[in-house]
Amino acid sequence: MRLWVGLGNPEPGMARNRHNIGFMALDVVARRHGFGPWRQRFKGLVADGQIGGEKILALKPMTYMNASGESVQPAAAFFKIPPPDITVFHDELDLAPGKLRVKRGGGAAGHNGLRSIDAQLGTPDYWRVRLGIGHPGDKQRVLSYVLGDFSRPDLDWLLPCLDAVADEAALLATDKPEDFMSRVAHLTKDQKNGV
């Protein structure tokens, strides 16, 4: 079993925030792949299903971003899922909007959700799907930017990106992160150009 975690904040008024792109990605993946209904467990919402022959437990922590690890750690412990079988989907300021990178381990780079998970798991040795939201250009504007809603023009890159993540999720589930990144980049390039 693998644990896929989408990061975000639980308030209904925050659902369209840039910081909630992890929740959005997991929602599209779960819908596309016919996961069971979301239910409350581990201080979050969980749903399960299969992708690429792998059993996946999807988790959206309802702890608020800064305490995400308080949901991730008990879920991982209960199912005995080691960090290398955990994948976290989160917003990334340092990537252009719609760009995506997958990496294992590394620092939290100022992301409080990752910092909380690192602290609770005791290691950063899990996978991260970094979903680019761009940077507002000024460090002083970062908080209001990530907690701001995606704009209507953002949907032109956001929806194709989320669809591509769901379309190619089997590559991620079967340990082919490089292929996953390439396919998502190809699909989003074609969709942006209207092909």
What does pTM read for this prediction?
0.95
Residue 195 has pLDDT above 50, yes or no: no
- Label residue 163 exposed, middle or buried (CB < 10 Å: 0-12, 13-18, 19+): middle
Q: Any catalytic annotation for residue 33? A: no
Q: What is the pLDDT of residues 76-119, one digit of tens each?
A: 999 999 999 999 999 999 999 999 999 999 888 889 999 999 99
**124 Cβ neighbours under 8 A, 6+ residues apart:** 105, 106, 107, 108, 114, 118
- Label residue 133 exposed, middle or buried (CB < 10 Å: 0-12, 13-18, 19+): buried
Catalytic residue, from 19, 33, 90, 111: name it: 19
Q: How far is CA 30 from CA 71, 149, 184, in A?
A: 19, 22, 17
Rg (alpha carbons) of the chain, rounded to whole number: 15
Residues 144-167 have a mean pLDDT of 96
SS3 15: coil
Q: What is the pLDDT of residues 14-67, one digit of tens each?
A: 999 999 999 999 999 999 999 999 999 999 999 999 999 999 999 999 999 999
In CATH terms, the fold of domain 2-192 is Rossmann fold (3.40.50)
